[in-house]
Structure 1
């Protein structure tokens, strides 16, 4: 298990049965959406680094500039 479901599962280990919905959500949705999002975001980051005209005034640009 990876991603936010992994974090929630670790935070709720003392809840036992109450953590079952988290495991069900991970089984149902999986982590593919996070993988796809990170791949697309990597493309946007590369485009912004290569072409200064694509700069925008947003959080992503601030993170790129801070790198």
Structure 2
């Protein structure tokens, strides 16, 4: 068996492995993007909640229900 034949056999054997690795890499990339989107969404929700809490505290302080923080 020549070197070229051996190389071709190795290429044939490795092709499905390389394709599977590429699929796995694509899946990992997709998961990373989903994770970034989820973190952004969570951060936006936390920002909104902080704003709502600050508003609520302001209203309660203005009505004298909650003592004003120094």
Common topology (TM > 0.5): no
TM-score (normalised: structure 1): 0.42
Structure showing greater Rg? 2
TM-score (normalised: structure 2): 0.41
